[in-house]
């Protein structure tokens, strides 16, 4: 049921009851491959979900061995989507996945109440976890951020992954802040997209106090370094269009098979060239959607204000995919 914008945050069902009935361990056990694609949101037109494309995409990544799917994140263009479309994306994803892998839902918003309502909608739809980064636009201080998380987490009816994305939100989850927040039982891990491996290693050390936490790396080419630092896997954008490459890479790292790991890493390093196509920061989303379009999985239309790659850029992406053995 779609929640009314006038609903009071305090008017929901008791969150603790709903949370205790939900499995807290949403990701594979340690030493099991854990690659989660931050799923694109396929579109056919402005504010129109490409449902058939979404179905093909979900089937493809699940067949590629992913450990879950993360929708409505950065790659999913969540801040550019209407609340109606976000809810439709949640409903359709949960229905198509049908319990085969966990569904993680990004609920970050500039408004506290909107994040809570979207999380409750996700829980009602059958999602497994929510992902929450720092509120953006107005940068919060660490004391303010700590208070925000302590206030919002008890209102969320699902396990919570915290998401460090300072490049876009302008605010870090500082290590000491995460250490303080580790006493919240429903916080089950951290996704770090900062690209700072020293920071990542320090976050991994927090698992000494919270061995149930899973710490995942965002920048996909850093998976091997993240593994060496004690990380548990990756939220890898390239797993949208090459899921098996990333799952085989992580499996090889876990098995200590250096030869296989180096072979898969070489493919991933080749694929990084698609993110150099184009000249704007939006090229990361455009390249990912272009790759999926070339693979005939879903449309390459991004949300406003972006536009899809033109034909010259699409041909560059195609050449890179062919060189890496991803496109025939």
The reported pLDDT for the residue numbered 24 is 54
303 is a domain residue: no
Residue 4 domain-assigned (yes or no)? no
Residue 25 has a pLDDT of 61
**Residue the block writes with tokens 């720092």:** 134
In a domain, 184, yes or no: yes
Q: For residue 119, what are the domain limits? A: 33-256
- Pairing of the two strands 69-71 and 233-234: unpaired
Report pLDDT for 28: 80
> Does 276 fall in a domain?
no
Residue tagged active-site, from 170, 191, 279, 289 = 191
Specify if 261 maps to a domain. no
Q: How far apart are the first and last CA of the chain?
A: 43
Task: Check which CATH number belongs to the domain holding 208 and give it.
Answer: 3.20.20.70
Whole-angstrom distance, CA of residue 259 vs CA of residue 207: 29
**Do residues 58 and 96 make contact, with C-beta atoms less than 8 angstroms apart?**
yes
| Number of domains within the chain | 1
Tell me what pLDDT residue 27 has: 80
Residue 214 lies in a domain: yes
Question: Does 286 participate in catalysis according to the annotation?
Answer: no
Closest CA relative to residue 93, chosen from 50, 42, 55, 37: 55
The answer as to whether 320 is a domain residue is no
pTM value is 0.91
Output the pLDDT for position 30.
72
pLDDT at 21: 37
Token duo for residue 300 = 């390459």
Give me the residues paired with residue 45 across strands.
48
Q: Is 207 a catalytic residue?
A: no
162, 149 contact by CB (below 8 A): yes
What pLDDT was estimated at residue 213? 96
12 lies in a domain?
no
**83, 136, 148, 163: which is the annotated catalytic residue?**
163
| pLDDT tens-place values along the chain, 328 residues long | 233 333 333 333 334 334 433 445 678 877 789 999 999 999 999 999 999 999 999 999 999 999 999 999 999 999 999 999 999 999 999 999 999 999 999 999 999 999 999 999 999 999 999 999 999 889 999 999 999 999 999 999 999 999 999 999 999 999 999 999 999 999 999 999 999 999 999 999 999 999 999 999 999 999 999 999 999 999 999 999 999 999 999 999 999 999 999 999 999 999 999 999 998 999 999 999 999 999 999 999 999 999 999 999 999 999 999 999 999 9
């Amino acid at each position: 049921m779609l929640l009314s914008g006038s609903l009071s945050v305090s008017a929901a069902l008791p969150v603790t009851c709903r949370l205790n009935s939900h499995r807290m361990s949403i990701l594979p056990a340690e030493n099991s491959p854990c690659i989660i694609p931050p799923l694109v949101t396929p579109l056919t037109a402005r504010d129109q979900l490409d449902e058939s494309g979404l179905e093909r995409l979900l089937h493809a990544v699940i067949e590629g061995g992913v450990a879950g799917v993360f929708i409505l994140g950065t790659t999913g263009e969540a801040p550019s989507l209407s609340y109606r479309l976000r809810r439709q994306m949640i409903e359709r994803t949960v229905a198509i996945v049908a319990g085969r892998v966990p569904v993680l839902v990004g609920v970050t918003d500039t408004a506290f109440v909107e994040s809570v309502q979207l999380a409750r909608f996700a829980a009602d739809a059958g999602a497994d976890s929510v992902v929450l980064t720092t509120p953006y636009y107005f940068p919060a201080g660490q004391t303010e951020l700590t208070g925000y998380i302590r206030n919002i987490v008890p209102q969320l009816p699902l396990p919570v992954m915290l998401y460090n994305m300072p490049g876009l939100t302008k605010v870090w989850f500082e290590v000491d802040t995460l250490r303080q927040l580790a006493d919240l039982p429903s916080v089950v891990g951290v996704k770090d997209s900062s690209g700072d491996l020293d920071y990542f290693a320090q976050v991994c050390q927090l698992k000494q106090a919270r061995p149930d936490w899973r710490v995942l790396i965002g920048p996909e080419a850093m998976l091997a370094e993240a593994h060496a630092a004690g990380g548990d896997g990756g939220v890898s954008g390239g797993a949208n269009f090459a899921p098996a490459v990333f799952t085989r890479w992580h499996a090889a790292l876990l098995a200590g098979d250096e030869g296989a790991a180096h072979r898969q890493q070489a493919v991933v390093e080749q694929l990084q060239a698609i993110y150099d196509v184009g000249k704007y920061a939006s090229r990361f989303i455009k390249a990912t959607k272009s790759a999926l379009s070339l693979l005939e999985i879903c449309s390459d239309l991004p949300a406003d204000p972006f536009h899809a790659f033109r034909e010259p850029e699409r041909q560059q992406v195609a050449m890179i995919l062919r060189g890496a053995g991803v496109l025939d």
